[in-house]
Amino acid sequence: MSIKYYAKISGTGMSVPEKVLTNFDLEKIVDTTDEWIRTRTGMSERHIASKNEAASDLAYNATLKAIEAANIRNKDIDMIIVATISGDHPFPSTACIIQQKLGLKGFPAFDVSAGCTGWIYASNIAKQYIENGVAENILVIGVEILTKITNWKDRGTCILFGDGAGATIISRAGERDISRFIDSELSADGTHYDLLIQQAGGSRIPASNESVGENLHTVYMEGNKIFKNAVRSMYHACDVVLKRNHLDVHSIDWLITHQANLRIIQALGKKLKIDDKKVIVNIEKYANTSSATIPMALDEAIRNGKIQHGDLVLLASFGAGLTSGSLLLRI
């Protein structure tokens, strides 16, 4: 099918909770040290949601900033897609809650569960709707409150996660607009679904006293195996879109990858042979916010003037499933 229109990112926004948990704070909770965390993950602090904060609260705050940046009105939104694995409720979708908060109705609103690759997946879906002419402005959000499904007794995982939301308005590009989505690549390898999982709370292991007692409602991850799969899958996703568009890494102005671990980001950059100065990193401030990491990093880099209009940006992520994906776009 030929493309009827082009899609572009017209506005971005982000939101994090006020409370900050530092590595030194974690030293008081589990057997770890600031130096150990920093040298192995690149993380120094993370933002933690309060008891009364839910995913839709952060998502709504980020959305208002994205709407303002896109210079549109609430009623100009045609669709809402929220990427999350830690929404307000198992159902209804967090997207429908955001729709209500915005005072809107009468159009599609749904969630996407693709782990840390969620925002890449959701943006690709929005891209299709824009390109085929069904919608003009789609709100795409990556939001997580992972600290509420974290096992704070597991020092291997509790140091990794933070809470946050990144929102983007994906709009129809004008004929003379250089900003546009160029290409995307999505994939998954379900043979490794159990390497990163929240085991209980679904139909396989319903909630019970036993499941709660065994911490089965919290994140379980086999870190070493995830690391290897992450670098390999993100490299493949990047390589595919670059070759398909007859580009090499020297053509890219900026690379933004999922902020899961500084070592993973560095390993991917080395494998791609990209200049370190072109790689956006903010993991030291926010840690791993899952589906929110890329839209948060994108918003921050645009607002601080690092990413400029016309820049060619390559985005890549991996996550539970195991999912992976990339997006190539001009801002």
Give the pLDDT confidence of 84-95 residue by residue, as tens digits.
999 999 999 999
Please state, as a whole number, how many other Cβ atoms lie within 10 Å of the Cβ of residue 244: 12
Mean pLDDT, the chain, rounded, equals 97
Handedness of CA 242, 245, 250, 253 (dihedral sign): negative
Query: Residue 239: pLDDT above 80?
Result: yes
Q: Taking residues 248-258, report their average pLDDT.
A: 97
Cβ atoms of residues 164 and 143 within 8 Å? yes
Alpha-carbon span 250 to 275, nearest angstrom: 8
Lowest-pLDDT range, 99-108, 219-228, 264-273?
219-228
* pLDDT (mean) for 235-262: 97
Long-range CB contacts (within 8 A, 24+) of 99-106: 101/56, 101/60, 102/60, 102/63, 102/74, 102/77, 103/74, 104/74, 104/75, 104/77
pLDDT over 90 percentage in the chain:
96
* C-alpha 65, offset from chain centre: 17
Q: 0.95 cut: is pTM over it? A: yes
- Residue pair 15/286 in contact by the 8 Å Cβ criterion: no
**Alpha-carbon torsion angle 151, 187, 309, 251, nearest 10:** 120
Cα–Cα nearest to 144, from 184, 198, 194, 75: 198
What pLDDT does residue 80 have?
A: 99
61 catalytic residue (yes or no): no
Helix %, strand %, coil % for the chain, to 5? 40, 25, 35
Model confidence band, residue 61 (pLDDT cutoffs 50, 70, 90): very high
Reference 282, options 79, 10, 71, 14; nearest CA is 14
The DSSP code for 174 is P
* Coil, strand or helix at 233: helix
- Catalytic: 261? no
What pLDDT, on the 0 to 100 scale, is given for residue 1? 54
Pairing of the two strands 20-22 and 279-280: unpaired
* CA 56/CA 79 separation, integer angstroms: 16
Q: Is the pLDDT of residue 71 over 90?
A: yes
SS3 at position 15: strand
Instruction: Yes or no: say if 321 and 190 are a contact pair by the CB < 8 Å rule.
Output: yes
Structural contact between residues 255 and 292, judged by C-beta atoms closer than 8 angstroms: no
Residue type (1 letter), 260: A
Residues contacting residue 220 through CB under 8 Å, at least 6 positions apart? 151, 157, 196, 197, 198, 199
Angle between helices 94-101 and 55-70 (to 10 degrees): 60
Q: What is the pLDDT of residue 223?
A: 85
Catalytic choice (96, 116, 158, 238): 116
Query: Cα dihedral sign for 290, 292, 298, 302?
Result: negative
Question: Residue 53 — pLDDT band, cuts 50, 70, 90?
Answer: very high
246: its two tokens: 């007859």
Please tell me the predicted confidence (pLDDT) of residue 146.
97
Could you tell me the two tokens for 315?
């985005």
Statement: residue 34 has pLDDT above 80: yes
Write down the catalytic residue from 158, 238, 258, 261.
258
Taking the CB of residue 208, how many other CB atoms lie within 10 A of it?
11
- 47 catalytic residue (yes or no): no
Catalytic hit among 124, 137, 261, 288: 288
Which has the higher per-residue pLDDT, 258 or 223? 258
* CA 90 to chain CA mean position, Å: 19
